Chain A
């Protein structure tokens, strides 16, 4: 009896596993999305997902792509590169998606890109800025600018707009994005004639930065560049202010999150960071998007939401132009994207599969985000 029950339950489980994978009709195009819905950079994944959801629903209401509905299959990578690799493998091999959208963090994109490249599935990163991501292969694309540009512009901003000559950097050694951005910033800043008087580092997930900040303070920098992600950046700025370090602090697009002000509060006054768009932009495209997003999700869309939206629409447009859902066809169509009107600007995908776009600088004044300036490439 026991043996029979054992065999019965084992075969039930086996049948359940085999029938996993879902039934998807022929009238659907499966698109995979992987992002950090939970973990240290949770707002990145959640915002991107909302933006993408908006794009998918709008497209489906208008009749879909090539007469079929877009179905989004989402995987959470918990802000970890290992999970990103697993998520993408599952999406492509088990769910059989035709294309993948993700990720925001360069470390996770770098983990997933080789898998997508090997399996011949196009991957569109909405916001990874480390140049190595698109070098992984001709199936990997991005719809945002890259760090050599971002680092250069931030260095110029510090040197010219703020007129400062001595900077210090505090980078996150656990993330390729942060290390790369710090490097490009230093390159340009020193090339312009400035000096990077001190460099320190931390690890993503750390909560105590007083030791590093005290060491930086001793070198007397006029500004500090913190090219990390929003939680650590906010804590860094908070602790710096507690140590009487009142100089301006700069960051990259990793700061863009609603949690930044929540964690940092008023200590974020006199800081600046670069990002992909501003909700203060009066153009119709931006305001229309902001209105639609707010009425659906009850919050202001940050840069990741806008990029998620643009990435989705660009992918769907590419599938339309390709006329099919074949990997190579979508890949060629993505590469030919020219002057696409996105919420984050006019997007043209170049030969290196990166986008040439303008950069927006946001400043924090009185505990609120304020648009500072736009810089064209």
Chain B
């Protein structure tokens, strides 16, 4: 019983990180109707921005992690947002009128560029991420241990998701985003600047990826330029699972993937840890392609 509880905690912790990345995928799809495969690598760059900036900021704050961690988070979010907007401007904007396949291939190209460029710039060796979350545990019994790590991950992810929900449903920019995702031609006729909204969406998505990166690197402190491949792919599966284009779906999908992966790894065999995410993808596409919370888009002729 205690093992089950512990595995659930492990799974929710991992799933929250996937949820944050999945939100980025789902937002971009909602606005632009394409899968930004480079998102996992924006996540990776976020981890490296954190790696290089954290020691300096911690030193600046005199070792006070409570002040330093949010500062590192803000700087990483800023860095990733700049990267996301740059990718959109230089790689995707001019292809907006082209078939979706073209942009998809471009996205894969950007992904490789970031990965192998990262290997050149950062070096391909794994690096040790500095500690941002103090070690220790909140609940520490014989059977279940909930570390400070897990709590911070879950709380931060939850807070960011609620912030995102507020932005999307309670602000003018959010309403504009939803309008563009509904019908971008009509939205532009209503006076909404499509380019600004798209850039804003990329800023939101990349910031979440940055937060996910810092949380991921805090729990699993070995970072390397290829670290974004698998979390990125699993988060993409999570977004599809929950219903691509649906925010709540992405969060739900992330949690499901995280928990399932942990359970399969602990109870069946860890060799299937990565395979389970892709098995879920195949199953959901076969039986309910619109995802759990998604709805069919009816094309009226």
Q: Measuring CB to CB, which residues of chain A are less than 8 angstroms from any residue of chain B?
A: 38-40, 42, 78, 173, 200-203, 206-208, 210-212, 214-215, 217-218, 231, 235, 242-244, 259, 262-263
User: Which chain B residues numbered 1 to 23 have a C-beta less than 8 Å away from chain A?
Assistant: 2-3, 6-7, 10-11, 14
Taking CB atoms, residues of chain A closer than 8 Å to B269 are 201
Number of interface residues of B (CB under 8 A): 36
| CB-CB under 8 A for A38 and B123, given A202-B270, A208-B14, A211-B7 | yes
Distance of A212 Cα from B203 Cα, bound (Å): 36
B270 close to A207 (CB less than 8 A):
no
A-B pairs, top 7 by smallest CB distance, nearest first, are A207-B220, A211-B265, A211-B266, A218-B3, A215-B266, A210-B10, A211-B262
B222 at the interface (CB under 8 A from A): yes
Decide: A215 and B267 in contact? CB cutoff 8 A.
yes
Q: Give 18 new A-B contacts, CB below 8 A, not counting A214-B6, A244-B142.
A: A39-B125, A42-B125, A42-B126, A201-B269, A201-B270, A202-B270, A208-B14, A211-B10, A211-B11, A212-B265, A214-B3, A214-B7, A215-B266, A217-B6, A235-B222, A242-B149, A243-B6, A263-B128
Residue in chain A with minimal CB distance to B131: A265
A214 to B264 Cα, complex, angstroms:
12
The answer to whether A208 and B220 have CB atoms under 8 Å apart is: yes
Contact A235 B10 (CB under 8 A): no
In the docked arrangement, what's the CA distance between A42 and B142, Å?
A: 38
Chain B 272-293 near chain A by CB (<8 Å), digits 1 or 0: 0110000000000000000000
* Residues of chain B within 8 A of A38, CB atoms compared: 123-125
**What are 10 inter-chain pairs, A to B, with CB distance below 8 A?**
A38-B124, A42-B126, A211-B10, A211-B11, A211-B262, A211-B273, A214-B7, A242-B145, A243-B145, A262-B128
Whether the Cβ atoms of A200 and B220 lie closer than 8 Å is: no
A-B contact count (CB 8 A): 76
Q: Are B220 and A214 in contact (CB under 8 A)?
A: no
Is residue B94 contacting chain A, with contact meaning CB distance below 8 A?
no
Contact A211 B137 (CB under 8 A): no
User: Is A214 touching B125 in the complex (CB atoms < 8 A)?
Assistant: no
Q: In the complex, A207 Cα to B230 Cα: how many Å?
A: 11
Please indicate the chain B residues that have their CB under 8 angstroms from the CB of A262 in the complex: 128
Q: Which of A39, A173, A231 contacts B124 (CB 8 A)?
A: A39
Q: Which B positions have Cβ atoms within 8 angstroms of A?
A: 2-3, 6-7, 10-11, 14, 123-126, 128, 135, 137, 140, 142, 145, 147, 149, 219-222, 224, 227, 261-263, 265-267, 269-271, 273-274
Within the complex, the shortest CB–CB distance from B251 to chain A, in Å, comes to 20
Chain A residues with Cβ below 8 Å from B222 are 207, 231, 235, 263
Query: Which interface residue of B140, B219, B227, B261 has the most chain A CB atoms within 10 A?
Result: B219
Task: Name the B residues within 8 Å of A207 (CB-CB).
Answer: 220, 222, 227
CA distance in complex: A39, B147 (Å): 30
Q: Are B126 and A40 in contact (CB under 8 A)?
A: yes
**Complex-state Cα separation, A218 to B7, whole angstroms:** 11
Q: Which of A78, A215, A218, A235 contacts B220 (CB 8 A)?
A: A235
Tell me if B271 and A235 are in contact (CB < 8 A). Answer: no
When the two chains form the complex, which single residue of A40, A218, A244 contacts B140, counting CB atoms closer than 8 Å? A244
Cβ distance B43 to chain A, nearest Cβ, rounded Å: 14
Cα distance A259–B224 when bound, in Å?
A: 15
Assembly CA distance A201 to B128 (angstroms): 23
Contact A217 B221 (CB under 8 A): no
**Which residues in A have their C-beta under 8 angstroms from that of B263?**
211
Q: Which residues of A contact B125 (CB under 8 A)?
A: 38-39, 42
Q: Note all chain A residues with C-beta closer than 8 A to B6.
A: 214, 217, 243
Do A215 and B126 contact each other (CB < 8 Å), given the known contacts A207-B220, A208-B220?
no
- Let me know if B265 and A263 touch, CB within 8 A: no
Determine the distance from Cα of A242 to Cα of B125 in the docked complex, in whole angstroms: 25
